[in-house]
Amino acid sequence: MIKTFLAALIVASTLTGGMAMAQTGSGTLGKIKAAKVINVAYSPDSLPFSFAGPNKEPAGYSIDLCKRVIAQIARAVGNTNLKVNWIAGSVSERLQMVAKGRADLECANTTQTQSRLANVDFSNLIFIDGGGLLVKAGSPINQFTDLAGKRVAVLKGTTTETRLNDLLRLRQLSATVVTVADANAGLAMLEEDKVDAYAGDKVKLVGLAVQAKEPAKLALVAEDLSIEPYAMALPRNDSAFRLEVNKALTQVYIGGDIEQIFAQWLGKLGRPTGLLAAMFLLNSIPN
């Protein structure tokens, strides 16, 4: 009986050890370990979250968080000299990269949605924003219903585009929706009076306005079109990899480093909103 019990313990121990090895030896972690490189998709024009800086290197709020995640993954695979291959792309391109295995991680201002969960997984939340409208100062557009009969530009393939079209249909408003390939194109159309408004995530709209030729001639409509919960897109069904990503984010939230990162990239907007502060707290998952 004792021998049988001991034999069972040995078998169980072997299986458990094998499972632990399998977690780092296969899946995304195993792939990264073997290749000695992690492929990271990012947005080159989503200031202040993810953009190509003056030296063409990725920078921004989400990129700083991503670098913490990459360091955690490097420790997990036992390679502190892990090479990082940054791949720029639009939101639809980035999600495709992750879904098809061309990118191991996605770092930008991507909204987590149920439909996207059919193709990729997501990390814990990294930010919460609201969709809004950027208009010319003095514009008659003061709320969403004022879009009736107007032209509004929006980034193609985004949740803002979906929400904008849904709201126009639900409220039976007739407006011309113009899709653009990038945010700078939308801003240019607004500045040149080719559209009456540009729809996007509010924090990004503020960043765009700051870069405008004449920022004082632009205004942000107060009404929110939507709530946008940002997260990092990850390969589906890889709990071991997702765990390492969330470990890194938790340490940033618990250790208070998130305040420094927020201040660097979003400090001009003031302190984190109550909703955002609550999100940081709720995602501070203990070990």
For the domain that residue 119 is a member of, what is the CATH number?
3.40.190.10
**pLDDT grade, residue 24 (50/70/90)?**
low
Please tell me the distance from the alpha carbon of residue 251 to that of residue 26, in angstroms, as a whole number: 25
Higher per-residue confidence, 25 vs 260 = 260
pLDDT digits 0-9 by tens, 50-66: 999 888 999 999 999 99
Based on the fold, state whether residues 114 and 39 are members of the same structural domain. Answer: yes
Please tell me the distance from the alpha carbon of residue 199 to that of residue 188, in angstroms, as a whole number: 13
Based on the fold, state whether residues 117 and 32 are members of the same structural domain. Answer: yes
Percent of the chain with pLDDT over 90: 69
pTM across the whole model: 0.78
Based on the fold, state whether residues 38 and 124 are members of the same structural domain. Answer: yes
Q: What is the pLDDT of residue 25?
A: 64
17 pLDDT more than 60: no
Q: What is the pLDDT of residue 204?
A: 86
Domain that holds residue 32: 22-128+229-282
Based on the fold, state whether residues 96 and 37 are members of the same structural domain. Answer: yes
140 pLDDT more than 60: yes
User: Would residue 153 count as lying in a domain?
Assistant: yes
Number of structural domains, the chain? 2
Q: What is the pLDDT of residue 58?
A: 98
Percent of the chain with pLDDT over 70: 91
Based on the fold, state whether residues 136 and 154 are members of the same structural domain. Answer: yes
Based on the fold, state whether residues 109 and 240 are members of the same structural domain. Answer: yes
Average pLDDT value for residue range 157-167 = 92
How far separated are the first and last CA of the chain, in Å rounded? 37
Handedness of CA 42, 267, 203, 251 (dihedral sign): positive
User: Would residue 15 count as lying in a domain?
Assistant: no
